[in-house]
Structure 1
Amino acid sequence: MNQLQRAKLIMTRLDEKYPNPPIPLYHTNTYTLLVAVLLSAQSTDKKVNEITPELFKRGDNAKDLYNLGQKGIYECIKQLGLAKTKSKNIYNLSKSIAREFNNIVPKGFEILESFPGVGHKTASVVMAQAFGEPSFPVDTHIHRLAQRWGLTSGKSVKQTEVDLKRIFPKDQWNKLHLQIIFYGREYCSARGCNGTKCELCKELFPSRKKGILCKKA
């Protein structure tokens, strides 16, 4: 089975398991999605979803969270890792959106990545899931599975993104991003599989005996 054949099989199996994958982070609009994705850095989605409903009650738009202040934001998110840095970034990006963009999250990779705390992955998620622009955000799950499935060298997250965009149809990127995340959590986790245990790894590489040592992002 060559790489393109594996890609076709992967899409088929993921469509069977996750035909309509939801966005795993609680949000109510584009702004709250941006904030939730920023908060998810080095934190689990589950933990982020536990604290964001209260945060978004205080403010579900840039102006209100800016007015809440950095200390107020921190009090709502202090259970998360890097809470001080995240509260500062949310405060400052909220200030920019409220003052410079009429309280509306702007569309575009370059402008999103110019905001404090917003890297390429965060911008890609917002572009994909809020604006419907074809993107392929690569998180640790996707980076790991792409290596196990023989779709990338795994040298970097950037290279993994390039490789996946080359292999998969553009109109499938946004859905595949979510599908792979869900599959990685449920069946092909860091400790639960090494490229030889989950059903998809075994179907893709039935003769593989040795586990895959994944390169970290």
Structure 2
Amino acid sequence: MSDEKQSITIDVVSDAVCPWCFIGQKRLDKAVAAVPEVDVQIRWRPFQLDPTIPLEGKDRKQYMLAKFGSEERLRQIHANIEPLGEAEGIDFDFEAIKVSPNTIDAHRVMRWASAAGVEVQNRLARRLFQLYFEEGQNIGDHAVLTEAAREAGMDAPVVEAMLATDTDRDAVANEAATASRMGITGVPCFLLEGKYAVMGAQESDTLADAIRQIAAAKARGELETAS
């Protein structure tokens, strides 16, 4: 029997302003830790919950009220999500969030992070979730994004200079639109080996089982023949 570790890739289609994506990230980390026999490469792919938000962002409270109709409804939604986050070690602070940002620039920095390696991109993904949901930072702000990039191990002056241009804006928008055309209407979506989709912030056990099954199928050579 080979001692070589099985490996699979998981593309996570997500948006940094989606609370379920933050929960999904935590659960995926647990799932990966539960399957040490498989080398899991995680790559983050863009999705925009609302690409119509202007680049300067919108007032969070007004935006959410327009979306959900009432403060009571909004409180109810937050009250449902907070304990789920707490169970995963997330300290959601929805009251601290003042701006609903357009996430195109956050996704551009995530794209550049991927060129620096999966570890850098993963660090940045985690930091953006923290900044927005736990610290109430505006992740559409270039200074916030540049600092997050520096913390993740990127070259901050380069990121700052690129953010001032339109570099990769169209590429990110096109990739996000492609996800929608593929039938991805909600996030997170975990795409295993580019073929098998697990939709939503599934429990870590469910994700771990999917990783084991796909890794085993890949080891048997079954994925190559799958249509």
Which has the larger share of strand? 2
Q: What TM bracket, shorter-length normalisation? A: 0.3 to 0.5
Higher relative contact order (CA 8 A, sep 6+): 2
Q: Could you state the TM-score of these two structures normalised by the residue count of structure 2?
A: 0.34
TM value normalised by structure 1: 0.35
Structure 1 or 2: more helix by fraction: 1
